[in-house]
Structure 1
Amino acid sequence: MLYFSRWKTFMIWAVVAISALIAVPNLFSDKQLEAWPSWLPHQKVTLGLDLQGGSHIMLKIERADIVKERLETVVGDVRTTLRDANVRYSGLSGAGQTVQVRITDTAQLQAARDALKPLTNPVNGGTLMGGSVTEVNMSDDGSGLIKLELTDQGIQYRMSSAVGQSIEVVRRRVDELGTTEPLIQRQGSDRIIVQVPGLQDPQRLKALLNQTAKLTFRMVDSTMSATDALNTRPPATSEILYSTDDPAVPYLIEKRVVVSGENLVDAQASFNQQSNEPVVSFRFDSRGAQKFAQATQQNVGRPFAIILDNQVISAPVIREPIVGGSGQISGNFTVEGANDLAVLLRAGALPATLTVVEERTVGPGVGADSIRDGLTASVIGALGVVVFMIGFYGLFGVLANIALAANVIMILSVLTLIGSTLTLPGIAGIVLTMGMAVDSNVLVYERIRDEVKSGRPLVQAIDSGFQRAFATIIDANVTTLIAAMVLFFLGSGPVRGFAVTLSVGVITTVFTAFTMTRWLMAVWLRRTRQKHLPKGVRTGIFDAQNIRFMAIRRYVFAAAAIACIIAVGGFVTKGLNLGIDFKGGSIVEVQAKQGNADLSEIREKLAELNIGEIQAQSFGDNTTALIRIQAQEGGENAEQSAMTMVRGELEQNYDFRRIEVVGPAVSGELTMNATLGVLASLAAILVYIWIRFEWQFAVGAIIATMHDVILTLGLFVLTGIEFNLTSIAAILTVVGYSLNDTVVVYDRMRENLRRYKKMPLPVLIDISINQTLSRTVLTGMTTLLALLALYLFGGEVIASFTAAMLFGVLVGTFSSIYIAGPLLIAFRLRPDIFDKEGEQTEKEGVPSKAAKA
């Protein structure tokens, strides 16, 4: 087991060397990497928006727009079809998802059915599996009333098509801004995620994405004035539209479209040569040029309107025919406004309105602070773990620290290779991995000590220690991996980044423990020919302990039950201080441009906006304030309107460092996913432990874990710490850690149950806990050191996240002893259910020397 062939040695160090080569570009700037030879790796870990600044915007296609457009199209098709078939009709209308028309002459009813039948023909679904979609169903009662119903399947098909088309339009618009590496992707059936790193002006991005940019050229109706049309009724062929001026000016516009934006081939911002004002120059394709020329020739002297998204940009009078296929749009533009309009027109129109349902914007200053705080916490946490391990294990601690350094390098290289996005919670995942990574080494080292105490030579003890620790390490880490995987699939944004980092860390930890640490120990043995454990191993202080944990199990169990009841009572009566992730609303972090942030002035100014409850508090230092705004009753659009008003009120005196806006639709989904995430992870872990152990162990582990979750939730209730998405990540991490700890103790209990068939269960459990006490304490201390560094130096953004995990580690350690153990007694676990094959049978009720504490 301790023999390593040359090719194995080469493979181990080749993996480490390649990992280092892949990871090293992350230590250099992009400018420095440009000077590197082309054959060297240049790829770096992508920094999340919380580390480099930028905007994350989730857009939703409005289903009502799709239904309305389809309804209007079907109404138009019915009108045209019946007229072409010379079928007389009346009462043609559309409402909801139904179009109805009454055939005046029932003798023409069959002719009407035959004429309208093509409207119900299925269309190609456009999927890889083929298939077709029926968009319209037709029915009539025989009395002449025909109804055409838009199917849900057809609307969903149109929704899917609209999302695909919208992604391309959004991509063209974002690319026109000149941003680097934007991420634009579909989420679900009606959502689009847009992430733009380093964006300095998120308001401009939202303005570009919010407009459908449907451009039309239509004639102004001169038969009556707009005022008369408002006071009476406009003609059936015209409608009232308003200009973009303030105050808006009404126009009576013909519904007939002369030329649409689909015929545009180019649009550029320029300046009017006479007035020098910003304008947008446009150019039509040949078809559009022909239509435009014909319309202007026939309507010289009449005004025509240029309309964008049902708003009149300008309405000039046609002085002479425009036959060149090009023209200008003027409308009191600013230079930026003309540029943005040109971008919209070049990118094309959206098929439906996109509503911003979630926005998370981080300024570059906040990102720089997060990187600095994250690195500081990482270095301090790593130093704490290194010193701790050397202090307790001496030379073995040095070997563990070398493996830990390789572990971190491998995590960074894997994240670089898979193109993962490193977020602030992701950095927290790396720091947590450093704290938990030594657990595998501690398990191996303590197993080696057990074997040495039983009288085995050191070489055999080391070999046996690695073999006996393997199953325990796998079981312990798989439970953490399950929690991380559930977190990835049901989480979003930074939470998924944390899950990825934690998952990669679990895998690399197992690899380094059983390859690098074992190789280093084999080399040490071969060169020193050591016969005894190094004197630096100081964990023998735990050997003299023979604590009777189960003697007070009833009292501790009762106290834990009371604490859980209090926590549940507080949860029911007081509830959690839910963040915007779960109840909607907005969070704004602002920094005063001069002096300190005036909280009372901020509250007074925002209270005048009538946007609901406003909370303002200091954040970090006196120059920065964190503002919370309650969810708006008007839905997603109301959230954006409220944020616009807040920005307008404060931007003169404050810089906006961070903005988070979550609409009601997203907050409801996040609540559901969070609940499912915790339940799914517990269920998956229950199944795994049941398979690996027995049902008593599985149920005991889950109850102990539920104890930890309930008490951690109680911490949130008691302290009023905001409960948000990162809090869910903290709870699932606590789940993973607690189960890790419980599985290690259970594994030793299972081993002892096979050896001591008649020993009283409380005594056996005490022996097992004492045997693993050194590992429990040391792993808990290293994890707490890493988390404490995160809490003290990681910055305000993840302070609540790490506080919850600190508490969770403590209660997780407690529950693995005082909850998980007594539950086995309560379930009347019997030793005879275990197969003793391959195990040494001891005298009944008498532990061997190796089993003694």
Structure 2
Amino acid sequence: MLRAVRLKFLFLFLLTVISILLVLPSFPVSLPSWWEKYLSRGLNLGLDLKGGMHLVLEVDLEQAITNELNRTARNLAGLADRQKIALKVGEVENKALPVTLLKASDQTVFLNLIKDRFPKLEVQGPRPLNGGQAYTLTLRPKEIESFKEDTLRRSLEILRNRIDQFGVTEPVIVPQGSDQIVVQLPGIQDPARARNLIKGTAQLEFKLVYDETPVNLEELIDAAERDGRLKDRYNRAEVNRALADKLPPDTEVYFEERRDPDTKRVIKTPILLKKKVLMTGDRVDNAKVRPDVTEIAVLVHFNPEGAQEFDRITRDNVKRRLAIILDEVVKSAPVIQERIPKGEARITGSFTPEEAADLATVLRVGALPASVKIVQDITVGPTLGQDSIRKGLISGILGTLLVVGFMIFYYRFSGVVADYALVLNVIMLLGALSLFNATLTLPGIAGIILSIGMAVDSNVLIYERMREEFQAGKPLKAGIDGGYDKAFWTIVDSHVTTLITALVLFIFGTGPIKGFAVTLSLGVTLNLFTALFGTRVVYDWTILKRWLKNLSFFELFKKPNLDFIGKRYYAFAASGILSFLGITAFLMLAWFGKGNLGVEFTGGAMVQFSAAQPFTVTEVRSALNREGWGHAEIQPLEAGKGLMIKLKKTQETVEQMADKLNQILNQALPQNKFKVEGTTEIGASVSRDLRQKAIIAIVISLVCIIAYLAWRFEFIFGVAAAVATFHDVLAVLGVFWLLDREITLLVVTALLTIAGYSLTDTVVVFDRIRENLARRRGTLAEIINESVNEVLSRTIVTSVTVFLVCLALYFFGGVVLEDFALAMLLGVLVGTYSSVFVASPIIFAWRKEVKRVAIQREKVIELEVQKQKRQEKRAAAGKKKKGGKK
């Protein structure tokens, strides 16, 4: 026996040492190079902790198909010209390319050309047209999906190449879904430059400037503005729609951008170009920066085919202006002075050295096959990240000390054993995260801190069972064994419900929320090991060594005898009010949009500032109102030393809005020295997706939990647990709505965590009710009251430990985790109440109703039987009477 316990102790010791070795690289210690190579590289810090940029890009795959057909049109026209096929290629519309064959006699040659050179195309036609033939070319249906996949793959490759040349350490560039790419750039110093480098499609085009008849574009645009046909004079698509009937055929308006050398502002000038694309950037072989005497230029070298094409273009258009267009912006439009046979083009545009270098990079790497749109943009400054680490550590250490101190006070020696298991749990959790080289985020730290509070729950369950065993007169060893045996399935059930919640969060969560789910699920899983195995080894060792003579616990309630079932109607009334408030909040938020929803769910932008001196909201609001920013929502942070400004989405990027706000605040309140610490921008598609996922996550987690509890107990137990959990989530949501607190993705995470915690509490009560029902001692009300009273001490002690951890998070975890911690604090209070006053009375009411229905059915059956007997008796008497007359 002693040898077996020694082996278990050795196993625990080895696990602890290995975990410490794995997590060591996460700390600033000097280690040999082989350590990280063969053992562990330690924990990665998320962008919210070390600063950086998180982007979600949406690739326009439909536009990619249009671009591909446009390239096909140019290649087809060139090949047809060389083979003397007379045809006219039209504009691509609805992913179809119209082609007119001017001579029907060319049909066979034309169709063979399509078959040989463009096998991915499907030909529809011919249709007779003015002596010729009309065809429609489209991509074959089976080619469209593979083309989209290839477009996403090529976009990933090009973005990787651009970012590699930008020089970011350990960037993350991965696909998400069928049309999105996630880009994470840790420690980025110039977010604006990185943003421009990433989102620029680098579609290079050459078009002729229209100069046949003079057109005063400025006057036309001014007139369209006055008539109300034009709202944004610098929106190219809108300008072309407004001036469609004023422009010459086959022309369109572009804008040429130049930077004013004095003010450094970008000036946009309208310029009229011919629609026909003469050449594109897919012929570029190399690009490099060349500083001229007057300005910086980017020198573009074409491949042999491109050199020939550019030679022909310059030869045929001497003394005409050729516009060089990059991503629909005219960079320059020089006059072609002479033929250029060497295959070189020079792009000017009053570039800064960085802009020229980035332009050369994107041209050299290649154009994206389709335009990308930033639908999510989160930037965290390094100062904010360091502050988050500091506050996360402070709140974690304080929460741990509070729990450790409370357990020692309440359970004495057993509290020390529980604290040992708690420390072992944290060490092994950090070791496991280091082994998988996981990324630790701020919500991930919250998950670790929360698992600290929940880790002692298993020990509390065991100790309260031990107390009952000792009160029944059992000796020390038998009482400890009985405590572990009787608490085993209750612990497993409560942990499974939390794991279901964590799994749903991982599947439907995004970014940092997945980090929370990982740390919470790992913490809960390891807690099963440390509570059921680790602490048992300590008890076995101390008993075998005869060091442990007895155990004593502090007792909060000495055999409580409260009538919970008798007070159920008061509880139902209070719960009804809380649930009504929650349902009202849900309807107002989800259907009517009335409430403080975070930008994750509404879309828009958010800018976070720090300030050197305290300020008032009135001062900030006045400064913004004076500059026309009265629509901005203002939220003070950290006792007037931080500021959050929320804005609806506009044409400007979040970076531009942040710069303008920073300038306004520092001009109006220079003594406060405002500084941008972080920015967030969420597009409408992402916010819609997050809203849907949040609702789906809540529903699926509850359905899974009901199914598990129905399997482990009875169906009514699952329903009662679900009702109590819905009640808790609605109550917290209602209070948040009433307090006008912001409902963010972290708050939804807290609501799901509350659901898991509340179910853990409820499962413990249900387990005791099931156990006592099997003994059949007394009426149903007496059994339920007795069960709830027996676990009341455990319920309150567990709630206190989790409450202490959430309290530390609320006061010391920083502004990011403040609402999460508040939701958890409310959830702990409401969850404790509901497991006692809501879930148990529902079982009582159901069983009472079932019994009443059964009794009623028996009475009905009995009455039917009696009625039938009377009828039979009367029938028999009638027959007898007739027989007597005869």
Structure-2-length-normalised TM-score? 0.83
The letter for the 2-side match of 1:691 is W
Alpha-carbon contact 1:100-1:147 (below 8 Å) kept:
yes
Q: Quick check: 568-577 or 368-377, which moved more? A: 568-577
Per mean C-alpha deviation after superposition, the further-off stretch among 17-26 and 305-314 is 305-314
CA RMSD of aligned residues (A): 3.7
1:816-851 Cα distance to aligned partner (Å, 9 max, x none): 11111111112217999xxxxxxxxxxxxxxxxxxx
Give the structure 1 partner of residue 554 of structure 2.
538
Give the equivalent residue in structure 1 for 2:873: none
- 1:182 corresponds to which letter in structure 2? P
> 2:52 maps to what in 1?
54
Question: Which residue of structure 1 lines up, in the alignment, with residue 152 of structure 2?
Answer: 163
Letter in 2 for 1:685: I
User: What is residue 648 of structure 2 aligned with on the other side?
Assistant: 630
Q: How has the CA–CA distance of structure 1 residues 763 and 499 changed in structure 2, closer, same or farther, with 3 Å as cutoff?
A: same
Query: Of the candidates 257, 269, 274, which is equivalent to residue 244 of structure 1?
Result: 257
Comparing 316-325 with 820-829, greater Cα deviation is found at 316-325
* 2:598 equivalent in structure 1: 579
Residues 153 and 611 of structure 1: is their aligned pair in 2 closer, same or farther, counting only changes over 3 Å?
A: farther
Compare 780-789 and 262-271 and name the one that shifted more.
262-271
How many matched pairs? 808
Aligned equivalent of 1:753, options 750, 754, 773? 773
For 2:21, the equivalent position in structure 1 comes to 21
Any conservation in 2 of the 1:447–1:465 contact (CA below 8 Å)?
A: yes
Mark the CA change 1:718 to 1:3 in structure 2 (over 3 Å): closer, same or farther. Answer: farther
Match of 1:811 among 830, 842, 846: 830
The match for 1:269 is: 289
CA contact (8 A) 1:226 1:240 kept: no
**C-alpha distance in 2, partners of 1:227/1:538?**
90
Measure the CA separation in 1 of the matches of 2:147 and 2:35.
50
- CA apart distance, 1:481: 0.5
Could you report, residue by residue, the CA deviation over 1:22-64 in whole angstroms, capped at 9, with x for unpaired residues?
A: 11222226xx447886677451211111111111111111245
- 1:339 equivalent in alignment to 2:357: yes
The answer on 1:404 being equivalent to 2:390 is no
- Post-superposition offset of 1:376: 0.6
**Conservation of the 8 A alpha-carbon contact between 1:85 and 1:115:** no
What is the match of residue 124 of structure 2? 138
Q: Per-residue CA shift, 1:423-472, capped at 9, x if unaligned?
A: 11111111111111001111111222222222322112222322222111
> Post-superposition shift, 1:294?
6.8
Cα 1:603–1:62 change in 2 (3 A) is farther
SS at match of 2:184: strand
Give the CA deviation at 1:88. 7.4
What is the rounded CA distance, in whole Å, between the counterparts of 2:217 and 2:644 in structure 1? 51
Is 1:482 aligned to 2:500, yes or no? yes
CA separation of 1:629/1:694 partners in 2, compared to 1, >3 Å: closer, same or farther? same
Q: 1:762 to 1:142 in 2, by over 3 A?
A: farther
Determine if contact 2:606/2:645 at 8 Å carries over to the other structure.
Answer: yes
Distance 1:573 1:301 in 2: 65
The 1-side partners of 2:666 and 2:694 are apart by 35
Offset of 1:724 from its aligned partner? Answer: 1.0
User: Are residues 1:414 and 2:432 paired?
Assistant: yes
**332-341 or 108-117, which deviates more:** 108-117
2:608 pairs with one of 573, 581, 589: 589
The 2-side partners of 1:85 and 1:287 are apart by 17
Residue identity in the other structure for 2:790: Q
Please point out which of 766, 776, 785 is paired with 2:795. Answer: 776
**Contact 1:82/1:115 (8 A) holds in 2:** no
Asked if 1 retains the 8 angstrom alpha-carbon contact of 2:217 and 2:271, the reply is no
Aligned CA distance change for structure 1 residues 716 and 27 (closer, same or farther; 3 Å): same
SS in 1 for 2:461: helix
Q: 730, 743, 747: which one pairs with 1:710?
A: 730
The secondary structure found in structure 1 opposite 2:173 is strand
Q: Per-residue CA shift, 1:397-424, capped at 9, x if unaligned?
A: 1111111111001111111122222111
Aligned residue identity for 1:200: Q
Q: Say whether residues 1:679 and 2:699 are aligned partners.
A: yes
The answer to whether the 8 Å contact 1:577/1:716 transfers is no
* Residue 352 (structure 1) shift: 1.4
Match of 1:828 among 814, 825, 847: 847
Cα distance in structure 2, aligned partners of 1:2 and 1:829: 53
Moved more, 17-26 or 785-794: 17-26
The amino acid across from 1:180 in the alignment is: T
Q: Larger deviation: 216-225 or 466-475?
A: 216-225
State the 1:712 CA deviation. Answer: 1.1
Question: How many angstroms does 1:309 deviate by?
Answer: 2.3
Relative to structure 1, the CA distance from residue 605 to residue 119 in structure 2 (aligned partners, 3 Å threshold; closer, same or farther) is farther
CA distance in 2, matches of 1:82, 1:27: 67
SS in structure 2 at match of 1:279: strand
Report the CA distance shift for 1:606/1:58 in structure 2 as closer, same or farther (over 3 A).
Answer: farther
Which residue of 1 is the match for residue 748 of structure 2?
Answer: 728
User: Structure 1 residue 546: deviation in Å?
Assistant: 2.0
Task: Assess if the C-alpha contact under 8 Å between 2:23 and 2:40 holds in 1.
Answer: no
Identity %, equivalent residues: 38
Cα deviation for residue 725 of structure 1 reads 0.3
1:514-562 Cα distance to aligned partner (Å, 9 max, x none)? 22111111111111254432x4x213x4342222222212222232123
Query: In 1, distance between residues paired with 2:725 and 2:360?
Result: 58
Q: TM-score normalized by structure 1?
A: 0.86
Say if 1:703 and 1:256 are closer, same or farther in 2 by CA, change over 3 A.
closer
**Number of the residue aligned with 2:167:** 178
Correspondent of 1:425 among 443, 461, 480? 443
Note the alpha carbon deviations across 1:694-743, whole angstroms, 9 max, x for none: 11111111111111111111111111110010011000000000000111
Q: Which residue of 2 aligns with 1:11?
A: 11
CA contact (8 A) 1:103 1:112 kept: no
Would the aligned equivalents of 1:54 and 1:197 in 2 still touch at CA under 8 Å?
Answer: yes
Look up the equivalent residue of 1:355 and give its one-letter code. Answer: K
Alignment match, 2:408: 390
Letter in 1 for 2:194: L
Letter of the 1:695 counterpart: F
Deviations 1:201-250 (A, max 9, x none): 21111111221112345666776677699999988787664422254456
Aligned partner letter, 2:764: V
Corresponding position: 1:495 with 2:513: yes
Residue 495 of structure 2 aligns to a residue whose secondary structure is helix
Q: 2:565 aligns with which of 535, 550, 565?
A: 550
The 1:618–1:13 alpha-carbon spacing in structure 2 relative to 1, beyond 3 Å, is same
Question: Any idea what the Cα deviations from partners look like across 1:552-602, whole Å, max 9, x if unmatched?
Answer: 12222232123322332354458542111111111111234x645575565
Please, which moves more after superposition, 152-161 or 665-674? 152-161
Contact map agreement 1:25 1:41 (CA 8 A) in 2? no
Worse overlay, 73-82 or 92-101: 73-82
Equivalent position amino acid for 2:631 in 1: E
Deviates more, 1:559-568 or 1:188-197: 559-568
Residues 583 and 631, structure 1, Cα contact 8 Å, conserved in 2: no
Distance 1:699 1:93 in 2: 61
Equivalent in 179, 182, 189 of residue 193 of structure 1: 182
Partner of 2:43: 45
Stretch deviating more after TM superposition (285-294 or 58-67): 285-294
1:201-600 to structure 2, matched below 5 A, reads: 201-216=190-205, 241-245=254-258, 247-249=267-269, 260-272=280-292, 274-275=293-294, 277-288=295-306, 304-316=322-334, 328-528=346-546, 530-533=548-551, 535=552, 537-539=553-555, 541-572=556-587, 575-592=594-611, 595-597=613-615, 599-600=617-618
SS of 2:560 mapped into structure 1: coil
Measure, in 1, the Cα distance between the counterparts of 2:659 and 2:149: 30
